Each structure stands twice: as structure tokens, then as C-alpha cells.
């Protein structure tokens, strides 16, 4: 007997992500899902972003790693609320893991929650967690062929931060090729060229992010 | 290697549907996998095999149909295959593209007894 099913295989996760999103919307909270391959600079970018915005916004962080709490300790040193998720082998965070952290945060006193996903350029792109937008980092040491090799990640992201541009003289990587290839896959992609080491380009990113969070808060207050 | 998670979600749906239809044996499952998804069919097959080994579902066939990426241009209203993941209309060069297929990750049919 043949039975017709027609169901999204990830429907269970997407339902939880939608429920998370409803809660974030009620609180006027911006949620950013930050993704990249291991070592591209997610935690360092977060540290810099916290330093720049912590007097203007209330921030919280969820750290996703397969193992260890080193990243959460780095964030906790900045004096902001952080929860470490150890996936114990899983290569990505999902809606359920994010929901499990809700008891640890006071959402009424948060403006921006950053979900730092497990370092991986493939799997996290497939699993929604209830975010407003996905941001990804590509460091120039990874090479300019990555957009065409990992199209889903670039397609799903709203923001691309090209990091470690201070190393450009030492690596064979063309920023214009990265931009051209990434914009082909995602014409709406917003691109920042940054160096977390020298600070170059970071002010543009801070200003963009703060503006996004403030506009979201304002639209929430207007609707409340 | 998120195919393990995908296989687990797939098994959850299969078990639910089999219970609903009072089915005892699973012959095959047909999936549609969009070209844009980051799924490796061989890897999903392997995970499915491992997870069903030694269970009632052992031996069920996983049939995967890859669905090509097709876009619809919101500007000139034409449909076209999206090649090399370039989301630009080949007719009018607009980048206002709606993806009409190629993002599927769906179970579509099961053969049971």
C-alpha cells in the first residue's frame, strides 16, 4: 500500500523555531544567528561587538560548541549573560536547544541575543532557531572559493562579515571575488570587510547592528 | 554531518505515519531533496540504514529525488533554471527572484504493508 505523506522533514524543528520567534517578537528582542567555519573569528567578533555596544544595548549570548566552555568564559568575562550549549557531537544548534536556555535569560531586559552557532560552514544553515537574521563570517585565510563551495550558507545569511582583512597581503584571496560570488548567490547580502585584530571596518558593523536592534525595538514599542 | 539529525526527524515522521495507517512493514520511502539543501544523499542513506538496522524498519528502501533549483523573476515574470547558484534572471538581469523549487527537504510517499 502506498501512502502519500508530503511533509517537510524538518517541520518539527521549524515549528519550535516559529514558537521561539513568537516569544522573541513579544519581547521586541533581536536574535542573530552567527555562523562560520571553526576559527573564522566568531567569538572574537562577539567580544569586540560587546565592548562597542554594551553601554547602548543589553546583550545576551548563547554559545554553541561541540565541547568545552571556553567561549562562554570569554563572553562571561565581559559581564554579560551567557549560556553555553555543548551539543556533544552534533554539528549545529537547533530550535529545541535554544528553547532549553530560555530559563537562563531575563528577556524583558535584553535587546539583542546572539546565538553563536557551532563552527561549521554546512549544517547550521539548514536549522532555524527562531532568529531575525543569520550573519556569517568568512575569513580571508579560508580562500575566495568558499561562496561557490558552500552556497546554502551564503544564500541563507543576511550579513557577511569578511574577517582578517589585515592578512590580505599574505594570502591569495581576492575580496572582490568573494563579494562577486557571494552576491551572485544572494543579491541582497550585506557585506562588511573587517579585521578584528586591527579594528578596521568594525565601526560600520557596530553602527549597522545597533541601528537594526533599535529599529526593531521601536517597531515593537509602536505595536505594544 | 547533519544527515544523522535529518534521518532521526525522518524516522519520527515515518513511525508516526505508520502508526496512523496501522502499517507493520515499511517497504520504501520517497523523498524530495532540493538542490540548494546541503544534504549528501549517500550520507543520508547511510544514516538511515544505520538507524533502522535491527529494527522493524530494517531493509526499507530510501528513494531520493533531487529537485533542481528553479526561479521565478518578479520583474519579468519568467521562470528559469538557476544554474551555478546564480540568483539573477537570465532574461532581464533582475535579482528579485523567488525560488519556486530546489529548497525541498520533504518526505512525499511511503510504501507500507
* CB spacing of B38 vs A188 below 8 angstroms: no
Distance from CA of B52 to the nearest CA of A (A): 17
H or E element at residue A221? helix A202-223
Which member of A6, A94, A125 has the closest CB to residue B108? A6
Confidence band for A119, pLDDT divided at 50, 70 and 90 = very high
Identify whether the C-beta of residue A112 lies closer than 8 Å to the C-beta of residue A30.
Answer: yes
Residue count (chain A): 224
Distance from CA of B32 to the nearest CA of A (A): 9
Q: Is the pLDDT of residue A223 over 70?
A: no
* CB spacing of B17 vs A12 below 8 angstroms: no
The complex scores an ipTM of 0.89
Superfamily covering domain A11-214:
P-loop containing nucleotide triphosphate hydrolases (3.40.50.300)
* CB spacing of A151 vs B107 below 8 angstroms: no
Distance from CA of B56 to the nearest CA of A (A): 17
* CB spacing of A5 vs B108 below 8 angstroms: yes
A50-59, A88-97, A136-145, A163-172: which range is least confident on average? A88-97
pLDDT for the residue B38? 87
Closest CA to A12 of A132, A128, A152: A128
Question: pLDDT tens digit string along A30-70?
Answer: 999 999 999 999 999 999 999 999 999 999 999 999 999 99
Whether A88 and chain B come into contact, CB under 8 Å, resolves to: no
Confidence band for A89, pLDDT divided at 50, 70 and 90 = confident
Instruction: State the greatest distance between any 2 C-alpha atoms of chain A, in Å, as a whole number.
Output: 65
Instruction: Tell me the C-alpha distance between B89 and B95, whole Å.
Output: 6
Confidence band for A224, pLDDT divided at 50, 70 and 90 = low
Which member of B6, B87, B112 has the closest CB to residue A187? B87
Confidence band for A221, pLDDT divided at 50, 70 and 90 = confident
Q: Which residues contact B51 (CB under 8 A, 6 or more apart)?
A: B4, B7, B8, B11
Q: Which residues contact A55 (CB under 8 A, 6 or more apart)?
A: none
Question: Hunting for cell 546554502 — which residue is that?
Answer: A152
Q: Is the pLDDT of residue A96 over 70?
A: yes
* CB spacing of B13 vs A123 below 8 angstroms: no
3-class DSSP assignment, residue A180? helix
In chain A, residues with a C-beta closer than 8 Å to the C-beta of B105 are 8-10, 126
Q: Decide if domain B3-68+102-112 falls under CATH 3.90.950.10.
A: no
B73: which strand partners?
Answer: B97
DSSP conformation letters of A80-139: S-EEEEE-TT-SS--HHHHHTTGGG--GGG-SEEEEE--S-SSGGGG---S-SEEEEEEE
Classify strands B105-112 and A2-8 as parallel, antiparallel or unpaired: antiparallel
Confidence band for A219, pLDDT divided at 50, 70 and 90 = confident
| Percent above pLDDT 90 for chain A | 95
Cell of A35: 555562523
Cell of B1: 554531518
In chain A, residues with a C-beta closer than 8 Å to the C-beta of B109 are 2-5
Closest CA to B62 of B13, B1, B2, B102: B13
Which pTM does this prediction carry? 0.93
Q: Is the pLDDT of residue A222 over 80?
A: no
* CB spacing of A1 vs B5 below 8 angstroms: no
Amino acid at each position: 500500500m502506498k501512502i502519500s505523506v508530503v511533509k517537510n522533514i524538518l517541520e518539527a524543528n521549524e515549528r519550535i523555531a516559529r514558537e521561539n520567534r513568537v516569544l522573541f517578537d513579544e519581547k521586541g528582542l533581536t536574535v542573530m544567528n552567527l555562523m562560520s567555519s571553526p576559527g573564522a573569528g566568531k567569538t572574537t567578533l562577539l567580544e569586540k561587538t560587546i565592548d562597542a555596544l554594551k553601554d547602548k544595548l543589553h546583550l545576551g549570548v548563547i554559545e554553541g560548541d561541540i565541547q568545552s566552555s571556553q567561549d562562554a568564559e570569554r563572553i562571561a568575562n565581559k559581564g554579560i549573560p551567557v549560556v553555553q550549549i555543548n551539543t556533544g557531537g552534533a554539528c549545529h544548534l537547533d530550535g529545541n536547544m535554544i528553547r532549553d536556555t530560555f530559563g537562563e535569560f531575563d528577556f524583558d531586559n535584553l535587546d539583542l541575543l546572539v546565538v553563536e552557532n557551532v563552527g561549521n560552514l554546512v549544517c547550521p544553515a539548514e536549522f532555524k532557531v527562531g532568529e531575525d537574521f543569520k550573519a556569517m563570517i568568512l575569513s580571508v585565510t579560508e580562500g575566495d572559493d568558499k561562496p561557490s563551495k558552500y552556497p546554502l550558507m551564503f544564500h541563507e545569511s543576511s550579513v557577511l562579515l569578511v574577517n582578517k582583512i589585515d592578512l590580505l597581503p599574505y594570502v591569495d584571496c581576492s575580496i572582490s571575488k568573494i563579494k562577486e560570488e557571494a552576491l551572485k548567490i544572494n543579491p541582497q547580502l550585506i557585506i562588511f570587510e573587517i579585521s578584528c585584530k586591527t579594528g578596521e571596518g568594525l565601526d560600520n558593523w557596530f553602527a549597522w547592528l545597533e541601528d537594526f536592534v533599535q529599529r526593531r525595538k521601536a517597531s515593537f514599542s509602536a505595536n505594544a | 554531518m547533519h544527515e544523522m539529525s535529518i534521518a532521526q526527524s525522518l524516522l519520527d515522521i515515518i513511525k508516526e505515519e505508520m502508526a496512523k495507517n496501522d502499517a507493520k512493514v515499511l517497504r520504501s520511502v520517497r523523498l524530495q531533496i532540493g538542490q540548494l539543501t546541503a544534504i549528501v544523499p549517500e550520507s543520508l542513506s547511510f544514516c538511515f540504514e544505520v538507524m533502522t538496522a535491527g529494527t522493524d524498519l530494517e531493509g526499507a528502501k530510501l528513494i531520493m529525488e533531487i529537485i533542481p533549483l528553479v526561479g521565478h523573476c518578479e520583474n519579468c515574470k519568467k521562470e528559469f533554471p538557476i544554474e551555478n547558484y546564480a540568483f539573477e534572471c537570465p532574461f532581464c538581469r533582475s535579482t528579485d527572484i523567488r525560488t519556486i523549487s530546489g529548497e525541498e527537504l520533504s518526505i512525499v510517499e511511503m510504501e507500507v504493508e
